[in-house]
Amino acid sequence: MYPDQLLLSQVAIVLVRPKFAENIGSTARVAFNMGIKRLILVHEIMPDRAAMAKMATHKAAHLLDNMEIHDNLEEALKPFSVIVGTTARTGKKRTIERTPREIIETIIPDLPNNQLAIIFGPEDRGLTNDELKYCNYTSSIPTADFSSLNLAQAVAIHCYELYYNIVHAPRAIEPNPKIASSYELEGMYDYLEETLLRIDFLQEKSHTYWMTNIRQFLSRIRITSKDSKIIRGICRQFLCYQGRGQEK
């Protein structure tokens, strides 16, 4: 059995451009109550410290002091191998939504060897399709007709499911192996996209559609760090070979 703190230390809550500083403080308070101590903010500016601290209370204020701040989501997600995006919206280009409980039960075996990020978008519109492309899973909280949970409530539900499964309903798990980080995957996808463009597989009008589907397909395969390097190497070699062919 893995120690509770070991598994919870692998988890980070990521807030993408929240509109209200108070909601960041409330999120810190919720996360700390559920044993999660890593908070990441994706924002161009630092929100008002006093407004955040007021809602965090003094017990969770240290999460604000240690909060990581990044200008963009891709940078914030570099070390994470398992990424969950939260959304209340559906669409053809989005991954299949699952409940927080279903997702947490699925990813518990990943935690011994992989870092987990749970992402929450702005209060008024949530995460965009471009932001959700980084995610392995998409989580949607079931509600009765009217979906209007505030940011801290959504964070609380996901954190509770994690805390309950790890602390109150622990089970013997066979840990999943380490899989490629977001940084490794994005480097691989850059090479793959360039290769597919070079052979005209990605038509201009369907470019985003096909890359989204390719990302979703490869995400289900659970690519390891070694796998990502192999795919990058194949694409790099192809691009170099084709470049030499065009010079002749």
Residue spans per domain, the chain: 4-168, 182-247
Query: Residue 208: its pLDDT value, please?
Result: 86
- What CA–CA distance (Å, rounded) separates 134 from 14? 13
Q: How high is the pLDDT of residue 109?
A: 95
As a whole number of Å, the CA-based R_g of the chain is 19
CATH 3.60.20.10 fits 4-168, yes or no: no
Quick one: pLDDT band at residue 220, thresholds 50, 70, 90? confident
Q: Do 27 and 151 meet the contact criterion of CB atoms below 8 Å apart?
A: yes
Q: What is the pLDDT of residue 96?
A: 62
Poorest-pLDDT segment among 13-22, 38-47, 135-144? 135-144
Local confidence band at 115 (pLDDT 50, 70, 90 cut-offs): very high
What separation in angstroms does the CA of 163 have from each of 100, 105, 170?
A: 12, 11, 10
225 contacts 187 by C-beta, under 8 angstroms: no
Question: Mean pLDDT over residues 139-159, rounded?
Answer: 87
Whether pLDDT at 124 is above 90: no
SS3 1: coil
CA–CA separation, 68 and 76 (whole Å): 8
Q: Is the pLDDT of residue 93 over 70?
A: no
What is the rounded average pLDDT of the residues 94-111? 87
Q: Could you tell me if 25 and 52 are in contact, meaning their C-beta atoms sit under 8 angstroms apart?
A: yes
113 in Cβ contact with 175 (< 8 Å):
yes
CATH number of the structural domain 182-247? 1.10.8.590
Instruction: Please state the φ and ψ torsions of residue 114, each to the nearest 5 degrees.
Output: -140, 145
Q: What is the DSSP letter of 127?
A: -
What pLDDT was estimated at residue 90?
55
Say what the pTM is: 0.91
